[in-house]
Chains A and B, each alone.
Chain A
Amino acid sequence: MSSDLQTSSDARPAGAADTPAAAAPGPKGRRPPVSEDSRLAIEIRSLVERGEMEEARERFGGLVAVHQRRASRIAYQYLRDAAEADEAVQDAFVKVFAHIASYREAWPFEVWFTRILINGCLDRRKARARRDRWFVSSIDATPADEARASAAIAAPGANPEARLLARERRSRLAAAIERLSGRQRDVFMLCHYGDCTPREVSAITGLNESTVRVHLFRAARKLRGFLGGTP
């Protein structure tokens, strides 16, 4: 796995927010309108600065609710382990709240948060790779995930055959994504699982927007090849 995001931000939210010029989205001289979640993040920052922590926490719950599902999807696709993805999402939200004072309007909140989340996921992947070098591999689904998948297959009313096929398709897809190069995988995941535009991916990764497009295109072409489509 590449460490693109690691080198650019070193998993530090404060550092990430200190370089808005490199990643400021939108054409030069024109700032895009502030999104709803970014406005909420600014409000929370003001509350924290005023020391109104209770109110800040309450408002932050709104941000969690908005980004939680998307964050879980990204984290799970990165880590392929539900429990670890859960922890990564929690850590990212806690980190964001703890460093909300360093949030700058130049970054859409979504981009800032996603960057923190992905850096956390990459750290976890790195730690896991280190563990696997010395201990038993944990790339396969955990027993809890297996049990959950089996329960879902055995659930009354569900079509077991369809579920089994879906599971097979997903594992093939996950294996295909795993075969992509680190940078291509990052870009593809952010774009397709993180709902990010190439411009946002460029802001998150620090790559040029046209480079992001090239990586995306190559990743899609490779994936189609791996999955049996037209390369």
Chain B
Amino acid sequence: MIVRAPHLRDDRLFDYYLAERAGDIVDPPAAEHLGDCAACGARYSELMRTMDAVRAEADAETDEIFPPERLRAQQQQIARRLEHVGRAPRVISFPGRLVSRHMTGSAARGVTQWVYAAAAAGLVIGVGLGSFYNAEWRSTHRGRQVAGPEIILAPSTAVATRGTGPAVEASDEAFLSDLEVALERPHTSELQPFDALTPHVRESR
């Protein structure tokens, strides 16, 4: 009586597939069984087909996403990056002018103190000058207020002291009037004819 060997378990079948794919020594009893048993042979073929399809899909996908030109570009990029490997990093010296501007904490504090001191000094000077000019202006204003009546009174006083009478007053008035006319006239010779033709306020009085 011939006793038939039991069917191969899935894990043994898978091991057989892995060994065959890697080119390792396959399990001889399993190989013999696969040759004899149609059911196990079919199972093995199905396993092989699935696994090979998975692998082929991945290959096709990679070929599509990484075509030769992309791989070439990748190679060049790697070469470029390798240029910097093993080389001492280049230290770029910081520009001196910027370094002087770039202050430390204590330097910044010193500058701030100077700014505060200058602002305070400016304030003191401003207040001092302001009060000085204010006092000056007040004294001047007070002087004018005091001198006002004197000025008003001056003509009468002058007239009284000089004792020249209304004739002197009239000549003064005429002189001042001429002076005004001279000042009001345009100094440009080209405009003087126009000025002569134009009626003046003093003439209409």
**A-side interface residues toward B, CB under 8 Å?**
48, 53, 57, 60-61, 64-65, 68-69, 72-73, 76-77, 82, 85-86, 89-90, 93-94, 97-98, 145, 148-149, 152, 166, 169-170, 173, 191-193, 197-198, 213-214, 216-217, 220-221, 223-224, 227, 229-230
Contact = CB atoms under 8 A, between A and B. Distances in A.
B14 A217 contact: yes
Contacts of A224: 50
Contact of B61 (A61, A64, A76, A94): A76
Nearest to A53: B86
A229 B50 contact: yes
Task: Name the prevailing secondary structure of the A interface residues.
Answer: helix
A60 B65 contact: no
B79 A82 contact: no
B81 A192 contact: no
Interface residues of B, number: 35
Interface stretch (B51-59, B100-108, B116-124, B145-153): B51-59
B77 to A, nearest CB: 6
Interface of B: 10-11, 14-15, 18, 22, 24, 46-47, 50-51, 54-55, 57-62, 64-66, 70-71, 74-75, 77-79, 81-83, 85-87
A192 B78 contact: no
B54 A230 contact: no
B24 A197 contact: yes
A227 B50 CA distance: 10
Contacts of B55: 192-193
B75 A64 contact: yes
A126 to B, nearest CB: 23
Contacts of A68: 71, 74-75
A85 B65 CA distance: 10
A94 B81 contact: yes
A166 B61 CA distance: 9
A94 B82 contact: yes
Task: Name the prevailing secondary structure of the B interface residues.
Answer: helix
Contacts of B57: 166, 169-170, 173
A77 B47 CA distance: 21
12 contacts: A53-B87, A57-B82, A64-B75, A72-B65, A73-B62, A82-B66, A86-B74, A90-B81, A191-B18, A198-B18, A220-B51, A223-B50
A146 to B, nearest CB: 12
B75 A98 contact: no
A120 to B, nearest CB: 14
A53 B77 CA distance: 17
A170 B61 contact: yes
A73 B66 CA distance: 9
Nearest to B18: A198
Contacts of A77: 58
B179 to A, nearest CB: 89
A71 B159 CA distance: 121
B55 to A, nearest CB: 5
B182 to A, nearest CB: 88
Contacts of A73: 58-59, 62, 66
Contact of A69 (B71, B78, B85, B87): B71
Nearest to B73: A86
A148 B61 contact: no
